[in-house]
Every structure is written in structure tokens, then in C-alpha cells.
Amino acid sequence: MTNPNNLSARAIQTTGRYLVLLPRGQANAGIMSLRNSTGTSEIDDSAVSNIGVAVVALDPDQLQSLNAAVAGPEPILAAEPEQIMYAIATSAIGTVAPEQQLTTAAFSDGATTWGLQATKVFSSQYTGAGVKVAVLDTGLDLNHPDFSGRNITHTSFITGESVQDLQGHGTHCIGTSCGPLSPPDPSSPMRYGVAHNAEIFVGKVLSNEGSGADGGILAGIDWAISNGCQIISMSLGAPTRLGTPYSPIYEEVAKRALSQGTLIIAAAGNESSRPGFSNPVGRPANCPSIMAVAALDGQLQIAAFSNSSMNPEGGGIDITGPGVAVYSTWSTDALTVSPPNGLGPSRYQTIAGTSMATPHVAGIAALYAEATGTRGMELWAVLMQNAQRLPLPSVDVGIGLVQAPV
């Protein structure tokens, strides 16, 4: 059953532009056909080189010509409206619902977060060395002491905004996936990061207000592939409804990424309100070739907000990660969330969401990439094969809880 209140709060928003899928290996011919069929010369080709997606603004007549080209013999495979995506909503632990503030005492050792214990990261011999992890989000606090000395490559796909994270969400996700083994900041009491030796690639595809268009996200995916990233972590998306099909363009992009050795991992979304309402997996995690991540709490129960496998065509949960009471880095420049203690800017936050579960899976994927040398679809299979089965419905948790190699 869906919750109309959650969905109406964030209706589908489009930009007036269109995503256009071109054949692999025929980008130049596709761009030329796009120009000829629509008469437009203003084509954003920043996501063309690896994944073959162009973005164009079209008037109604040009759109009609584009649709005719898709249906005809021209080298244009698909087109769809460009949508706005969002950082998957999170909550400071002081404001999450009481039923979500479940004890994590079963995993508490005082030295590592409960999520790293539940996923066996704390006992893994692997570090992510030699693996490149791209996090496409709101950026990173480049001044955070916990990332000092790390090999970080970054770029912003948001016009007029630097990669510096003024929202906080991206810094939190990067901390979980790639944070340090021993945080240098004495105010941090425990280890929270998974792949502490991985090479970090920061793509700012969401603005400081937490939103961004498909074009920038796809350009970020293309950039990550160009840089040889084996893993792309995306704690972003937009809600879907029952019967909403997955995007054929994102699906083809994910297939093309996998064929080039890049696994895309994305948050399933937070639109549910259990036990009363469950909502379908959001876009683009609902694509079959994108690994969709649900969230568990500290008692290894499905989080109240975590979405479910409800749409018959795509939209399935693949795997789960820790997503409630997740402690990680935060940007001291963040403008949107104040620390629960009210003491001013904080370098750390404890928050909840499928956004928090996703970087756990991405970081552990980096550990397996180091341990096994697998890439793309083979890396996907290794993650699934080694997950911990749970006594919960597969529509909610997929194969189970992600586990690190030991």
C-alpha cells in the first residue's frame, strides 16, 4: 500500500529538457542525427563519451521531430524528459521517530560503529587499496580533517557551485564508504568508514539545496567511468508510484557501465512509513541493472522508511545495509542541519536513511574489488553471494545484509 502523503510532498519534477540515448560506438552519428532531426545545435554532450546520452532543450515541434526519429531508422534509441533528483531525505538522530531509535547495543564495542560491526567490516583484512570509488552527491567538505592526505579527485556538475559541500549529505556518505581507519579528530570516538584506503572521486551532482537534474548525474556517471572508477555510489533519487516503469535510459546506462567494469549502487528511497505504508523503489535504483539498497536498523529489522519491491517491472530491492542511527562525517559548512546538541557546526552527524545504507554497500564493494579483482557484473555477484540471509521478506531486504570479506 502506498502513502499518498509522502509522494505528494515530492511530485515528479521535470526541467523541460530531454535525455536522448544514442547507440554505443555511434555517438558522432547520433549527435548529427539529433541536430538534423530537431534543428537544434544546443546539445549537452557531457555524458556521451562512455554512456551515450545527450541532453537537449526542445520546443513542441522539435520534440515531435525527435519522437519521429526515435521511431524511425535514425541512430537515436530512446528519449525521455529530464527529471530532478534529490538527496534521499535524512534525519538527525535527535528527530527521527522513536520507533526508529532502536538500540544498537548488540553491536556496540565502543571502537567502531554498529554498521561496521554488523557487516563484519571491523574484522576485514581488506582496505579498498587500489580501488576507485565515486560518490555522486552534494560534494565533500574538502577541509574536513578526516580526509587530510587522502587521494581525492573532484569536480562539480552544478553550475555556479564548487564541490565544497554546503549541504552535508555528500560528506556523510563519503565518510561511511571511504572514511579513515582511525579518525584524526579527537572529537570522533570511533571508526565509521569502510574502505579507508580507497581512492575517492567526488562528483557534485546535487546542489547545496540537495537537488540536481538527470543531465548532471549522467555526466557524473560518465566522468566516473572515464576515471576508471569500479564503484559508483548514489544516495539520490526521486519517488515512484505503483506501476511506474523504470527509466529505459538509466537502465541502458547501467548496462553500459557494467560492461566497462563499473557497478552503480543506489538508494532505494525513504518514502515508506511502516507498518502502515510501503512505497516502491525510487528512480533510478528501480532499474534492474542498478543495485538497489534498502535500510536496516540496529536490530536487523527493516527501517520504517525503507522502500519495497512492489512494481512487477523492475523496482526490486537487491541488498540491504545499515541505515538507522548511522554515525559519519558532516560538513562544518553545512547550511541545512544543525547538530542536535545545538552547539553549532559539527564535524559528525548521526542520521538515518537508505542514503546511509548505500555507502556501506559501496565501501564493502570496494573491499571485494580489492580482495577478488572482480569488476562489473562479477562484483555484483560476489556481493550477493556473500550477503547474510535474514528472516525477513525478500521484497523488503533482497538477498540480505551486505557482509565484508574477511
C-beta separation of 197 from 215 below 8 A: no
Q: Which strand (E) or helix (H) includes residue 201?
A: strand 199-204
Which grid coordinates belong to 356? Answer: 546511509
C-beta separation of 231 from 375 below 8 A: no
β-partners of residue 149 are none
- For the chain, the farthest-separated pair of C-alpha atoms sits apart, in whole angstroms, at 64
Residue 231: which of 357, 345, 370 has the closest Cα? 370
Helix axes 60-71, 27-38, angle to 10 degrees: 130
What's 275-337 look like in SS3? CCECCECCECCCCCCCEEEEEECCCCCECCCCCECCCCCCCCCCEEEECCCEEEECCCCCCCC
In terms of C-beta density within 10 A (0-12 exposed, 13-18 middle, 19 or more buried), how is residue 323 classed? buried
In terms of C-beta density within 10 A (0-12 exposed, 13-18 middle, 19 or more buried), how is residue 94 classed? middle
Of the residues 169, 172, 196, 360, only one is catalytic, namely 169
In 3-state terms the chain splits into helix, strand, coil percentages (rounded to 5) of: 30, 25, 50
Residue 8 annotated among the catalytic residues of the structure: no
- Find the length of the chain: 406
* φ, ψ at 335 (rounded to 5°): -105, -10
Distance in angstroms (rounded) separating the CA atoms of residues 72 and 9: 39
In terms of C-beta density within 10 A (0-12 exposed, 13-18 middle, 19 or more buried), how is residue 245 classed? middle
Of the residues 233, 247, 328, 355, only one is catalytic, namely 355
What DSSP state is assigned to residue 268? -
Residue 165 annotated among the catalytic residues of the structure: no
Residue 169 annotated among the catalytic residues of the structure: yes
> Where in the sequence numbering do the catalytic residues fall?
137, 169, 355
